[in-house]
Every structure is written in structure tokens, then in C-alpha cells.
Structure 1
Amino acid sequence: MAKDTHSLYQHGTLALLVPGLYDGTQTVGELLQHGDTGIGTLSGLDGELIIDQGRVYQVNSAGAVRQVSADEKVPFANVHYADFQAAGSISGTDYAETQAALLQALGSRNLFVAIRLQGTFTAVRTRAITKQQPPYAGLAAMAARQHEFTRDTVSGTVIGYYSPQVYAGAVSPGFHLHFLSAEHDFGGHILDLTVQNAQLALQKFTDFQLHLPTESTAFLTQDFGGDILGDIQKAEN
């Protein structure tokens, strides 16, 4: 059976992380049945995931990188089957300029698009959150529990997604990008970067498949009141 390269699959929502629903509700093995490329986090917000060519890598709060096993669980992740199309190159840009170049390449702010930017970066600053234990604090409190890492002149790959504003809550609107070095010894959720020279590839989707944790009592009974979008923006930025 041909792989569906037109659909973006997501398990969970960013909104469910806001009140602290961090328990894993899908195994990595099950997640990989829906794609070979993507991003996410492990149970307890344990670090940042980069999924590339069917391999799942975790950057933990100590900055260490390891390959994740199929039986580990995620509360939230995005995956798709890679079918990237070349979209030019980017060079000599800071993070704001890089995002502006990405937006221009997208052509529309109303589509889900996967982004792959591979090359050499003058500087990259990332973060990963320390694994949390129950009872969980809400997502807004996680900014104080993240660890930041920096690397100068590093080769690697940016993998992530652009999500339209209209789907805010289910997703974090705008860019959600993770980094993995070519040596697999550095990475995480991108906070800042400067591109030296990198090749850009994009993959636009016609379908967005949202999979909800319907067997999670915590999810089924949670009242998602309050400033959900505000808390998401604080955590992502």
C-alpha cells in the first residue's frame, strides 16, 4: 500500500498540555505507523523529539541525545511520511529573517506545511524541559524548568511544521521547529538560530488528522477553561 504523503498526523493537542496532561497516551511504535518524520515530546514532557527517516531521537534536559524505543509513550507528537520538495536555499539569516524567508516560500499562511532545513548554522540555541512527575504543574510553569543549550558553527537539520492560526489550541500557530545536529550530539526545540547556508525543502498537506487520547480519563474529564492560547504562546516562545 502506498504511503499517504498528503496527510499530517497529530496525536493529542497542545491545549491538553496546558493544564498538565503530560502522561503518555500513545506508544512511539503506534505513532510511527502514521509517519516517518516529525516532532514531539515523551511522557512527562521528557525532552524534545526529532523524528527523521523513521528514527526517533530524544534530546533530554541534560542536552544528551539518544534513540527512543518503540514502547515509550508520547502525550503529543506530529508525524508524516516524508515527500519534501526542494524550495531553494537560505544563507546568512538570523532567526527572524529565516522565518520571514520560510513564510515567503510557503506562499500561504493557511496550510499545514512540513519544513526541513539542512545545512550549516552559525549559531543555534535550543531548549528541553526536565521530565516532570505527578502531580504535574501546568504548561505555563514549564518555562522555569527548561534547560537551554547553544552550539556555534554546527551542521544539522531543522525539522518541524508551520500551522495556520485558525487551528490555534489544537496546535501552536506559526512555526514549531526542532533541531538535530549531524553528529546526533546536540538539538532540541529551537529558540534562536543563525543560518550560514542551508537547503530548504517543504511538504504541503491537504489533510490534517487529529488523534485524541479517548482512553485517558484525565483528558475526558478535564475542563479546558482559562487562557489556553496565552499559555501555549508563553511555553512555545
Structure 2
Amino acid sequence: MTNTNVLYQHGTLALLVPGLLDGTLPMKELLAHGDTGIGTGEGLDGELIILDGVPYQVDGKGNVNIVKDSFMLPFANSHFASYQELVDVNDIKRDNLQKLIDEKTASANTFYSVIIKGTFKNMKTRAVQKSTKPYDTLAITAEKQSIFDRETVDGTLLSYYSPQIFDGAAVGGFHSHFMSDSHDFGGHILEFTSVSGTVSFQQFDSLEQHLPTHSESYMKHDFSNEDILGAIHDAES
């Protein structure tokens, strides 16, 4: 029996900051911990979104690919979906949507996931182009991103919310990826103006944090001089 109260996370956003971008977990193992999730590939190879057990990758050229079990990841989240409908919205602005979710969930101090299925206006996403060793820092690598946009698009927004006290391990607040219903557009969400559709919610009472202890570069790195939060917030915005 699957545990739907647990959010599984491999790696941390902090380890990406200095450029520790080696893939340290195969997709097959990530899927053993959930049928829903987000992440990135080795070398920040695109943006991943897992829906109904299918791992989609939006690569640096905007192509949507279904990745193999052997696809390696330095950072990812997954969980087993058990969403409850929260609210229907009609052409709600993004800022107002986030305020509504905050009010409806009352869960600022725990992890949760939101999934929104509907029609989005002026959706803008990004995907980072894969880099190779020797890896640059997160800030430099993230500059090599491609921007994609659609004036109107039907699809699914998948977001994970992390409490501010975990900022660094994840990004405090919402981390959101998108996939169109036609599976030809998606990525890490930069912005959208409004959405009409159904908002659903799933809360977690446990975080299973998995660290790449078999990675020598991770185990030996000194993070004390890194501007972790500044780099994460710049890259995720």
C-alpha cells in the first residue's frame, strides 16, 4: 500500500548552487517513490514533470520527451497522488490565485502539492540547456535557458510548496512546472496572467530527504561560503 502522506526528495536545491550537477538517482528509483513529481536531469538537462507515472522532459529546445528509467537526476521530488479538489476558479490572476490557495489550505508550515488543470493565459516557461563537465555554477548554467510562451494553453500545473524554514533544501514557497494537454509545450513556470479550471490539493506530514552520499563531489564540498539562498531565488524566478 502506497503512503500518500510522504513527499520524497532526492538531493537539494542547495547542491545545485556550486554546480554539483551529476546525476545521482535514476528515474526508475524516483518512480518507486511516486507517480507524480518534478525535477531536472544531469547537467540541468531540461525540466521534468511526472504525471500519472509518465516522466516528461521539456528539453532546452522545447521538445517534450518521455525519458527512460536510466535517465539520471541530481534533484527531484515525487509522491503518490491523492489530491482533493480545493476550488474551481474562473480567469483568476496568478497573484490572487496564490492568495486564495494560501487561505484555503492554511498549510504554510508544512509541505504540500497543488495541481491545477485548466486553461492558462499568457503562459511563459523555461528549460535549461544541458551542460557538461566541468559544470559551471547554477547561476551561470541557468543563464543558458530557453523561454517558451503560449497566449492560451490547456494543461496541468504541478506545484510543490515548501515552508520557509526549509528554504535552501527546496525553494521556500511554490516551485511549479507545466505540461500542456497536447504534450508539446511545458517547462518550469516563469509566469502566467490567469487560469480557469480546477485546483486540487494534497498535504504531506512527512518529508523523506534522500542525499547522494555515494557522490564524492557532494560529500567533500564545503557549502559555508556559498550564497545558497540568493542563487536559488535568482535561478528559480
What's the TM-score bracket when you normalise by the shorter of the two chains? Answer: over 0.9
Q: Report what 2:218 is aligned to.
A: 219
Q: Does 1:41 align with 2:10?
A: no
Distance 1:95 1:190 in 2: 12
The CA distance in 2 between the partners of 1:196 and 1:57, in whole Å, is: 22
Give the equivalent residue in structure 2 for 1:234: 234
Counterpart CA distance in 1 for 2:95 and 2:25 is 34
Using the TM superposition, name which of 184-193 and 136-145 deviates more: 136-145
Q: Structure 2-normalised TM-score? A: 0.97
Task: Tell me the SS of whatever aligns to 1:16.
Answer: helix
Equivalent pair of 1:90/1:101 in contact (CA under 8 Å):
no
1:173-192 equivalent positions in 2, closer than 5 A: 173-192=172-191
Cα deviation 1:162-220 (Å, max 9, x = unaligned): 10000111111100000000000000000001333110000000100000001000100
Matched residues in 2 for 1:43 and 1:6: separation?
28
Q: Find the aligned partners of 2:178 and 2:131 in 1 and give their Cα distance.
A: 22
- 1:49-77 per-residue CA deviation (whole Å, 9 max, x = no partner) reads 00011100000111110101101110000
Residue 99 of structure 1 aligns with which residue? 98
- For 2:31, the equivalent position in structure 1 comes to 32
In the alignment, residue 234 of structure 1 is paired with which amino acid? D
Kept after mapping to 2: 8 A contact 1:118/1:198: yes
Matched, 1:80 2:79: yes
SS in 2 for 1:92: strand
**Runs of 4+ with deviation above 3 angstroms:** none
Distance 2:27 2:193 in 1: 31
Separation in 2, partners of 1:196, 1:8 = 26
Give the match for residue 15 of structure 1: 14
SS at the partner of 1:99?
helix
Aligned residue for 1:183, secondary structure, equals coil
- List gaps (5 residues or longer) in structure 1: none
- Aligned to 1:127, the other structure's residue is in SS state strand
- 1:144 equivalenced with 2:130 (yes/no): no
Paired position in structure 1 for 2:152: 153
CA RMSD of aligned residues (A): 1.0
User: Partner residue of 2:3?
Assistant: 4
> What is the aligned partner in structure 1 of residue 170 from structure 2?
171
Letter of the 1:167 partner, please give it: F
Give, in whole Å, the separation in 2 of the partners of 1:160 and 1:170: 16
Report the identity percentage. 47
Measured in 2, the distance between the counterparts of 1:223 and 1:126 equals: 32
Q: Supply the AA of the counterpart residue of 1:227.
A: D
